[in-house]
Amino acid sequence: MGSEREWIVVRNWERFQHPDAARSSVPPWIKNYTELLSDEAYLTLTPNRRSLLHAVWMEYARSRRRLPVATASLAHRFAMVVRMRDLEALRDAGFIDFSASKPASEGARRAARVEKRRREEGSPAVPIAPNGALGTSGSPAAKSKNEKKPRPRDELWDAFVEICGEALTTSERSGRGKAVKEVREAGGRPEQLRPAAAEFRRIFPQLTMTDLAIARHWGKLVGKPRAEFRCPICGVVEKTQRKLNYHVEVIHA
């Protein structure tokens, strides 16, 4: 097993990243190069070690460059056998290094990059927060840029919350956003949602009522108002005029 006190360092890591990828907390993708198929060091690796190398690259990005030399942990993360001699082979091939020092946080690296750029350009120093955020302390412009503006209230979304409950997971929020969009595009209004929900339960008593299900059947739920065939004597509502006539003639004869 590898030592938890050592860390993996991918050589020439900056080449693997698109500039925009460094802005997010976890890069959604990294670069890969076709020239690897002409790289003797890469081609001499066994297929298993090539697979391990690509897994190391992706996990190195996902962990924000904090990947320990721990074979058991790596085997669990990659769902494959990882031996110390395999990692050493990647090191000897020139793809990775081992470091005894814990890698700096992303904020500290960002601060170092900004300071290096400042020195190269000869620009005045910019205060940097502990988390690596830039801005002049106390500056209204900096505060307004860093502070998140509150999202305007969406009454149609709130109406769905009242009917179907809070959307807690990413999938639920995505589905609700789609439902809100479709209902809004159909001209739906918040006050129509509760009657539409009642109509859904009447028409589809066997189905689970969800926001997407309501949106899918919106036209049927809020379309033309259905005719009521109500008995003038007892108030019972029948589905058709024929049934109402039968009801009056038989029940109230």
Residue 96, pLDDT score: 92
Query: What are residue 229's DSSP bridge partners?
Result: 238
Distances (CA, A) of 6 to 75, 90, 98, 106: 16, 15, 6, 19
**Could you say which residues of the chain have pLDDT below 50?**
1-4, 21-22, 134, 136-137
Residue 154, pLDDT score: 86
Segment 84-108, tens digit of pLDDT = 999 999 999 999 999 888 776 555 5
Q: Give the start-to-end residue ranges of the domains of the chain.
A: 7-99, 155-222, 225-253
Residue 1, pLDDT score: 47
Per-residue DSSP letter, 128: B
Q: For 115-201, list the strands marked E by DSSP.
A: none
User: Using CA atoms, how far apart are residues 190 and 224, in angstroms rounded to an integer?
Assistant: 18
Residue 127, pLDDT score: 52
Query: What are residue 9's DSSP bridge partners?
Result: 97
Contact between 238 and 231 under an 8 Å Cβ cutoff? The reply is yes
Residue 124, pLDDT score: 57
Residue closest to 156 by CA, chosen among 215, 204, 213 = 215
CATH number, domain 225-253, options 3.40.1350, 3.30.160, 3.30.70, 3.40.50: 3.30.160
Residue 136, pLDDT score: 47
How many Cβ atoms sit within 10 Å of the Cβ of residue 220?
13
The alpha carbon of 39 is separated from its chain's Cα centroid by a whole number of angstroms, namely 36
Structure tokens at 11: 């050589």
Contacts of 146 (CB under 8 A, 6+ apart): 133, 135
Residue 44, pLDDT score: 93
Per-residue DSSP letter, 99: E
User: Using CA atoms, how far apart are residues 135 and 239, in angstroms rounded to an integer?
Assistant: 68
